[in-house]
Structure formats: C-alpha cells, structure tokens
Amino acid sequence: MPEGLIVKALSGYYYVKPDAAAPGESIQCRGRGIFKKKGQTPLVGDRVIYTPTENGEGMVDEILPRETELVRPPVANAKLAVLLFSLKEPDLNLQLLDKFLVHIEHAGLRTLICLTKEDLLDEAAGGQERDLTGRAKELYEKIGYEVIITSSRTGMGTDEVKSRLAGEISVFSGQSGVGKSSLLNAMLPGLSLETSEISMKLGRGRHTTRHVELIELENGGYVADTPGFSQLDFLELGVEELSSCFREFGEFAEGCKFRGCSHLHEPGCKVRQAAEDGDIAQSRYEHYVQFHQEMKEKKRRY
C-alpha cells in the first residue's frame, strides 16, 4: 500500500503527497472513521499509509509512528523550530523570545533563532541598535543556540537559513508581523505568501497565515508556515519542568543544595548565584522568575 506525507489539512480533508510524487503534487484524502474512535487525528507532517479511491482521491488508513508532535501549531515530525523575531517594527522582545524557547525546549526540537529586518536598523542612531543586536546574538550563542541575522529586503542570511532547512520538516514561528512570510517569499521566489503591513498603533502585524501547510523546498526540506502567535500560555508545562527548559541552568542546578530546587529563594542555590555572578544572563534569570510566577498564578485559576 502506498505511503505519503500529509502536507495540508483543511476542512476535514488531508492532502497527501505520495512518496514518488513531483513537488507540489498531492492527493485529497479523507481519514478513516477508526481514527475518531481511537481518539487520533492525522496531523500535517504525519507519514501515512493511504488507499487511492476510484474518484482520484484517497483514504488515509494508518498513521505511521511520530518522532515529535506539537500541540500548537498541530504539526508532526518537525525536527527544527525556526524562531523569527524582528530587530525593528516591532522591536526585539527578549521576554517573548525566551517564552518561545521554553516551549521549543519542552517539545524537544532543535532551534534556529532568526533576527529579521536587519535593513531597518538606523545607522544614524549612533550604532546603539547594532550594538544591542550584537549583544543579543552573543547572549543566545553563548547559551548554545544558533542565531542568524536576516533581511528579506537585502537577502542577508536568506541562503544560510535555507541551507539549514534541507531534508527535514521545520516549523516557522514567532511574533506576528516579524517577517515570516517575507523570509519564505525571499527563499522561494514565486511563492507569493500574503504579507501584512505592521500596524504602527499596535506595533504588531495582522496574522496572515490561516491554516498549517507544509511548503516544499527544492533541497528536500519542508517548512510549516504556521499562524503567528503573540501570546503563549504554559498550561501544557508543569512548573517543575520550567528550569530544565533554560538549558544554561543545567550545569549549575546540579550543584544546588536541595533536590528539586526552584532557584527562587532556597539557600545554597547555584543557579541564583550564577545569575548574580553574571554566568547566567540577568535577562534570562529575570524571565525565568516571571514565567514561574505566571505559571503558579495560572495553576491557581484552573
């Protein structure tokens, strides 16, 4: 029986690209009723076994085992998360970037941070904005994240990002209005994804992506262009898991006096000490404390 990849899910249909199909080809399929009974839902990114039907469509019979599964956006088998955050319009928001990183660490994906709209940095501002950009890049690279600075307008970093996407499913995510669609359009001339102007009053863009779809690159990669999120909640994450999502805490946490240390107020906490000594960035530790508080408040509410 033929196998394929679900590249789009829309209105109860699954669009399956057969393994031998040419780029852009897919078969419109329904899912078997057994999935509903089992409480399963085929996802974009799923490898499936399907049966062609007489009308040129198909039926999804079986979902093959998943390597990863994201709840929001609902994507299976993604390996790499590309987090896009603009340097200007809207200004770089490190707290929101750290929130996204927590979710990506929890999901077990590798991360590529793209700092977009480099062309908007003002040379006349005494170089301050460029200094901030350099410091942000250095901060996250020191933690162990890969950071690429891009500009869709000038093409800066576009080829570098594209080469990182080869041969696997990647999820593009980040704050709305930061240039996700523009970067994809720059990497894939002729794609013409809808882009949105920034609302200067709100400082953020309108969401231009309405459903999850895999966009195929000619290097064997697929990009899940997903709705832009301006808010994330921590409901699927336990408060005790939070510190493990700050990867630089690990080496210090091993030396904490108490097992299960929250790194907030316990005596002999090596993570807090590292933040005081500058071995952990102050912004990262402050965001950890804020997220911890946010999670505790959410728990009380539910």
- 175 a known binding residue? yes
- According to the annotation, is 261 in a ligand binding site? yes
3 state DSSP class of 13: strand
Angstrom CA distances, 144 to 35, 110, 112, 210, stand at 40, 11, 10, 32
Q: Does 209 carry a binding-site annotation? A: no
CB 280, CB 249: distance < 8 Å: yes
Sequence-ordered list of residues with C-beta below 8 angstroms from that of 241, at least 6 positions apart, any chain? 106
> Does residue 174 have a known ligand-binding role?
yes
CB count within 10 Å of CB 29 equals 23
Is 118 a known ligand-binding residue?
Answer: yes
Does 177 belong to an annotated binding site? yes
Looking up tokens 């359009």 gives: 185
The contacts found for 287-293 with CB under 8 angstroms, 24 or more apart, are 287/94, 287/95, 287/98, 287/99, 288/98, 288/242, 288/243, 288/246, 288/249, 288/263, 289/264, 290/95, 291/98, 291/99, 291/102, 291/234, 291/242, 292/239, 292/242, 292/262, 292/264
The count of other CB atoms within 10 Å of the CB of residue 141 is 12
24 annotated to a ligand binding site: no
116 is in an annotated binding site: yes
283 is in an annotated binding site: no
290 appears as a binding residue in the annotation: no
182 annotated to a ligand binding site? yes
Residue 199 assigned to a binding site: no
**Inter-CA distances, 259 with 247, 254, 273, 292, 296, Å:** 17, 9, 16, 17, 20
Q: Beta strand pairing status for 47-52 and 222-225? A: unpaired
Q: Tokens 């991360």 correspond to what residue? A: 111
176 labeled part of a ligand binding site? yes
Q: Are 223 and 44 in contact (CB under 8 A)?
A: no
178 marked among binding-site residues: yes
Residues in binding site? 116-119, 174-182, 256, 261, 263, 269
Residues in binding site for GTP? 116-119, 174-182
Residues in binding site for Zn(2+)? 256, 261, 263, 269
